[in-house]
Amino acid sequence: MGLNRFCMTVIFTFSLLTLACGQQNVTVNELSDVMIPEFPLQTKFANESINLDRLDLYERFDRELTTLCYMHSSTSLAIKRANRYFPILEPILKEEGIPADFLYLAVIESTLHPGALSPAKAAGIWQIMARTGKEYGLEVNDDIDERYHIEKATRAACRYLKDAYKKYGNWATVVASYNAGMGRISAELDKQLADHTFDLWLNEETSRYVFRILAMKEIFSNPSKYGYKIKSKQLYQPIEYSQVKVDTTITDLAQFAQSQGITYAQLKEANPWLRTRTMPDKSRKVYYIKIPHKNDLYYTKRKFITYRKEWVIDKK
């Protein structure tokens, strides 16, 4: 962009801003006020205390908290979706012996979107790679991909996390290994003569990853403190399902959905692990397909449920 064009753009933008301020009777300073989030110098993850008084740890946490506070769309969506998916995920983590704080790992991985697919082809709420999914017992092929099956993928993620904890003995390092892989984290601990992920010099993505999870936990503990003022009716509500047992091939999922009184779109929304328009089953393996209850398909026909009271501002 040439200098003259740049100057004209600045003048035009400033003129629009001045006009807007005049119409709304506010000043430029008022428009540009930015809340700088403050946070405690000690936090916990999975019942392990983390002291943020060390300069590098303080600044790494501050970077992620500030970023998440101003990623308004994705952070607010994460809180809304958590009301639907935490009630599914949290009991499984408890059964598997995984601390509940690992819910925030799923939040950071996928913003709790069951159909999420990364550029690297990691899939589902837990963003599991195909090879890792198969290693931990998931069926992954063109027609059926259980990385998108919320309950089964959660069990697989828990098995990975337990294996990592056996290796490292602390949950923060387990978190880093979920992002970078156990092989890389183990190699760096060895090369850098370190015992803990917080003492490692890592690539930026992994270095930020642990602190992004800690920061998301902090926001979820009190969203309104960090600028997220949500009403209970704005939270995405849990959906109740019946399950149809299937052990034969379904040649047309649209017809199957219609026979269950729902649309093909609703079937796929409830069962994102069904990847094509058919469900081949030559081996007669048993699958359970979720069918959402009809009343749960309507926004106005429900009593609004809040999974955690601190998420909303209309507390009773």
Q: What's the pLDDT band for 4 if we cut at 50, 70, 90?
A: low
Is residue 108 within 8 Å of 64, Cβ to Cβ? no
What distance, in Å, lies between the first and last C-alpha atoms of the chain?
55
pLDDT of residue 294: 85
Only one residue has tokens 């800690």, namely 214
Sign of CA dihedral 76, 125, 101, 65: negative
Q: What is the pLDDT of residues 276-315, one digit of tens each?
A: 999 999 999 999 999 999 878 787 767 889 999 999 998 6
User: In whole angstroms, what is the distance from residue 8 CA to residue 289 CA?
Assistant: 60
Q: What is the pLDDT of residues 101-119, one digit of tens each?
A: 999 999 999 999 999 999 9
- Whole-number percent of the chain with pLDDT over 90: 81
User: In whole angstroms, what is the distance from residue 132 CA to residue 89 CA?
Assistant: 19
Q: How many CA atoms lie within 13 A of 124 on its CB side?
A: 28
Strands 241-246 and 48-51 turn out to be: unpaired
